[in-house]
Each structure stands twice: as structure tokens, then as C-alpha cells.
Structure 1
């Protein structure tokens, strides 16, 4: 019988997700992981097989525990402005969106499994934004862009724009824009959506 594992796998995966959300995959060595996680290299290899295996587990965990709840809150928003306020003002989702962005930009183009993990999450984000866009159109009393048709691209176009805006604001925050500036940009856009869409 093997020796019992000396670490909690869920805690290690969560901590790895936090680390991978701050730096590029290639910028994190196994030594970095060992130091950050406080787990022996052999234990990591035995449990996850490789750095990539740990990354995959961390990404899955982050998408499930950080991003999916945010998508649910966006889907439940009363209108586009509320959806944007929820997404921009949700500090708990910051690490999840950071890792989502890093994975989309850095790993998905070269790792089909990462691309496969991200595709349904991005589609769910669009669907959540589409639901908020539909409620926004109902509140606005208009039907002009509903259902995805029309010259303006309808709800599908608005949903894609909202998802891109949320991810773009998170990207700006990663690039050094202050949280106050990001919140201000989100509030300004939410105000415009409420009063001009």
C-alpha cells in the first residue's frame, strides 16, 4: 500500500489556479510551482502527471468555481447595465477572468484541449449576455434588435459586445489600469446602456 498523500489536492489546484492567473504558463517553472504550492515535485508529478496536467486541473477548477458563478450572475441580471456592473464589480471573479484571458490568448491557440475547455465557457458567457440583452430590450419597450436580427446585430451582437467588453476591461486592469478606472468605465458604459440603448 502506498504512502498517503501529504497534501490536499483541491487546495493545491486552487492555489495553482491563482498562480497561473498571474503569470504566463511558460513563465512558471516547476520550481515556481513547488515553491508556491509547498508540495514536493515528485508528488505533483505523481498526482498530475506534468505541469500541463496541473494547469488543466487548475483551469477546470477556475472555470467552474470562478467563471461559471459569474456567468450565472450575468445571466440573472435585469438588463445589460446590471450585467456589466455585476461582471466588472465582482472581485471574486478577477482571478478566474484573468486565467480565462491568459488561457484564451496564450494556451488555446497551441493547445486544443484548452481551446475545448474555453469554447463552452465563452458560449455560456455570450448566452448570459444575450439573456440580459433580451431583458434590456423588454424594459426598453423595443423589439427592434431582438432575436439576433436587424441592422444593429440584435441581441446576438449585443451579447458578443458585452462579453468582449467584460473581458476587455479585465485585460485593461491586468495591463495596469486602476480598479477605480475600470469601475468608472464600467459605470459609464452601464449608464449609457441604461439611458441610450
Structure 2
């Protein structure tokens, strides 16, 4: 029988989400995950299987949050990074990105005269501009 898990899996997933949003999938190493999550490499692999499996879980949970009315105020950095970085090369990530965009579009106000695709593009563009013009936080 293995030792009991010494970390909170949901906290680890949330921290991994922050790291993937900050550095992207390619920019996040296993060492980064081990350090930020505060888990041993073996625990990381035995719990999540691989960096990709952890990433897909993080992305799936993020996409699930986009299916409610507060979604347009959600930090969309992870979704945007996934759309640019992973969707072109990873079919599962592409499916999740598509699902996230559909969910997000469905939460945008209707009756504004703006087409849904244009409203979604505006929302995503505004998020990118805010991210690009926000001062870098001290780490």
C-alpha cells in the first residue's frame, strides 16, 4: 500500500493553472511544477500521469468555469494561451478551447446589436490589451 497523499490535489491543480497561464505549456517545466506545487516529482507523476495530463485537467476545469454568467469577467489568459500555443498541435486541447469559446460566447449579453462572434472577438481582444498594458507584478 502506498503512502497517503501529502498534498491537496485541487490546490495543486489551481496552482498549476496559474503557472500554465503565466508561462504557457511549453514554458512550464516539470521542475517549475514541482517547485510551485510543492510536491515531489514522483507524486506529481503518480497523481496526474504526465505534464500534458495535468495541463489538460487544468484546461478542462478552466473551460468548465466559462459556462456560467460570470464567465466574461474570468481571467481568460489560460484559454487564450491554449488557443495559440496548444490547439494547433494538440487535438484534445483544441477541443477544449473550442468548447471554452462556445461557452464564453453563450454567456455574452444578447440584444446589443453586436453579432456573437464579434462580441467574443471584442472580449478576447480587450483581455489581451489589458494583459499587455498591465504592469508586471513582482514575483
User: 1:161 is matched with which residue?
Assistant: 118
- In the alignment, structure 1 segments of 5+ residues that lack a partner are 75-86, 138-154, 180-197
SS at match of 2:23: coil
Picking from 118, 123, 131, the partner of 2:102 is 123
| TM-score relative to the length of structure 1 | 0.63
List 4+ stretches of structure 1 deviating above 6 A: none
User: 1:142 is matched with which residue?
Assistant: none
| TM-score relative to the length of structure 2 | 0.87
Q: Conserved in 2, the CA contact under 8 Å of 1:12 and 1:37?
A: yes
* Counterpart Cα distance in 1 of 2:9 and 2:22: 20
Alignment: residue pair count: 135
* Counterpart Cα distance in 2 of 1:4 and 1:110: 36
* Counterpart Cα distance in 2 of 1:171 and 1:20: 16
User: Aligned Cα RMSD in Å?
Assistant: 1.8
Picking from 130, 133, 136, the partner of 2:110 is 133
* Counterpart Cα distance in 2 of 1:105 and 1:39: 29
1:124 shift after superposition: 2.1
Larger Rg: 1
Q: Conserved in 1, the CA contact under 8 Å of 2:15 and 2:37?
A: yes
Q: Conserved in 2, the CA contact under 8 Å of 1:14 and 1:61?
A: no
* Counterpart Cα distance in 1 of 2:107 and 2:9: 31
| 2:35 is equivalent to residue 9 of structure 1 | no
